[in-house]
Structure 1
Amino acid sequence: MTDLTLPDVAAQFTHHTVPLDWVGMCGIALPLMFHAQQVRGSADAGVSLDCGEARGIHMSRLYLALEVFEHQALNPALIRQVLQRFLDSHADMSASAYLRLRFEVMVKRQALISPLAGWKAYPVTLTARLHAEVFHVELNVEVSYSSTCPCSAALARQLIQQQFLQDFENRSLAHEDVLAWLGSAKGVIATPHSQRSFAQLEVRLQDEVSELPIEALIDQAEAALGTAVQTAVKREDEQAFALANGQNLMFCEDAVRRLNLALKTLPWLSAFNLRVTHAESLHAHDAVARSSWNWQGKRAPM
């Protein structure tokens, strides 16, 4: 009888015995369970190919190991379980397993003053590695906020002073006159420029962390910055936001320093790498600053 066993070409030996750092798949569509809700995600999954004589890995085994994310809550223990399954299915071939998950966390945010509320989406990238029983989980979260330029604010104040002198030079002033002038168009003859800005928070979790503290990280960052972008607002909220911007003038250097100090207080972090981008409204380019703490290895400045 003819042998109809399907050939396994990947299991054949190669003539080029070169180990490979990473082999796997990128951009796998994947549902994830986070906070009892299913979210749309994507995964990059791979292992090292340390056996140089092996031609390739068994990618389908990695793919099938990801199925647990559809029904089980996303947490470090589950991620480690999946990575261990990667290695178990490639015994004698691979010593390291890697996983990167991309998804969005939806958080409902209250308006500053009014009872309105709305949803914000925060992009999240989770990266995990397992090698020789050493397991690391890193989170990369993007937070958007408003930044008002301190230099522009000072220049605007000077113009307002000059206009005040021009309108009231050699005149005695009553309280009502000043109040009316401040409420007129001349009282705000110049305004400082501000822009939507972005903070990339790349953090490494302590080994004993049992949950993914994504919302706690976002809350800490937004509190430090003071001007997180809003969702549904009324006029009183917009006025409160204008006040917050006026009281939180910052260059990109100021913003990244605030985040550095704030994140160092979080006990479940072991390291972080920060990048803030102010998408300039004055210039046609962005202003960028970076800062890190306990991060091993040098990173490129951009």
Structure 2
Amino acid sequence: MPDVALDRPASERALDWVGMANIALPVRTRSATGEAMQVPARVDVHVDLRDPAARGIHMSRLYLRLQHAFAAEEMTPAGLARVLEALVETQAGLSRAARLVIRFDQLLLRPALASANAGWKAYPVEVRACVADGEVALHLAVDVDYSSTCPASAALSRQMGAEAFAQTFGNEGTVEVAAARDWLRSEAGLVATPHAQRSRAHVCVRLPQGLSSFPIVELVERTELALGTPVQTAVKREDEQAFAALNAHNLMFCEDAARRLAHALSTDRHVASFEVNVAHFESLHAHDAVASVTGDGGAR
């Protein structure tokens, strides 16, 4: 059969990257309890084309090499490095670099805040891996949703509440505790509420050499712990009340959220460097409030 890929190109030039995007593949990862899980993933694969006189790469070889690359065993940094080297080898001297982007959802069972319930939450994960002239670089990114209550709005709401309390009880001298409690519980006692919104942190870290596994669960949990108000799954009234208390104790602008995460990642031994992007999907404004920060991690 004819193979026009062997023809010389009309314009000779080396290419940075050639490949395929959005390939459907199974990937084996691990749950928070260490159990193996197979999840559907979407994968991008590219190699460089160093020979300017070569019309194209061996694309089908890349595709076939990936079909079972991550289904038989857990995806690990070492295993991913072997796959990258094998991708370069499939090109029979045309390439010296390869890269992969692997996207999937990590399902984690999250307990409720106060009740005995629990529910599954999906965390978008992206693994980026590249090998060039034998040097491997690995990046891990997760998206974590959380709630952010505006400190300025909280302060304004507290002021209105204090003024309403003074207007109601200011002439009574001594205020009965029961009367004050009943007033605070009534609709009259809630004169304003601070605005809050669902927010998202995109945390991308460069991984140090020598890790035996991808610290997906650890990165998610460190992110949620730093922010303090991760969105919930199973929620009863007692859980909703506990969530309201968490929001009150974790008032934050987007700048606060970015700094919290930078502080947490700067001491994380699984992190060589990091880039954080947070977005607060404003309920007050018709636009988002965003912040970004980069820095070195704790893997020194």
Could you tell me the TM-score, scaled by structure 1's length?
0.94
SS in 2 for 1:54: coil
| Residues 45-65 of structure 1: CA deviation (Å, up to 9, x unaligned) | 110001111000011110111
CA distance in 1, matches of 2:78, 2:294: 26
| TM-superposed deviation, 1:92 | 2.1
> What does residue 154 of structure 1 align with?
155
CA distance in 1, matches of 2:198, 2:44: 30
| Residues 261-294 of structure 1: CA deviation (Å, up to 9, x unaligned) | 0011111211111000000000000000000014
| TM-superposed deviation, 1:169 | 2.2
| Residues 218-244 of structure 1: CA deviation (Å, up to 9, x unaligned) | 000000000000000111111110000
Whether 2:13 is the aligned partner of 1:7: answer no
| TM-superposed deviation, 1:201 | 0.4
> What does residue 212 of structure 1 align with?
214
CA distance in 2, matches of 1:49, 1:217: 35
| Residues 54-109 of structure 1: CA deviation (Å, up to 9, x unaligned) | 00001111011112212221111111111111111113211110111110000000
The answer for unaligned runs of 5 or more in structure 1 is 1-5, 296-302
Q: What are the residue-to-residue correspondences of 1:19-58 with 2, within 5 Å? A: 19-35=14-30, 36-58=36-58
Q: Is the 8 A contact 2:96 2:133 kept in 1?
A: yes
> What does residue 3 of structure 1 align with?
none
| TM-superposed deviation, 1:13 | 2.3
Stretch moving more, 103-112 or 260-269: 260-269
Runs of 4+ residues over 4 Å off in structure 1: none
Could you tell me the TM-score, scaled by structure 2's length?
0.94
SS in 2 for 1:26: strand
SS in 2 for 1:104: strand
CA distance in 1, matches of 2:90, 2:5: 14
Q: Is the 8 A contact 2:266 2:296 kept in 1?
A: no
> What does residue 77 of structure 1 align with?
78
Number of residue equivalences: 290
CA distance in 1, matches of 2:139, 2:193: 40
The alignment yields a C-alpha RMSD, in angstroms, of: 1.1
Stretch moving more, 279-288 or 70-79: 70-79
For 1:56, give the aligned amino acid: G
Q: Quote the sequence identity (%).
A: 49
CA distance in 1, matches of 2:291, 2:10: 48
| TM-superposed deviation, 1:17 | 2.0
CA distance in 2, matches of 1:11, 1:24: 17
SS in 2 for 1:136: strand
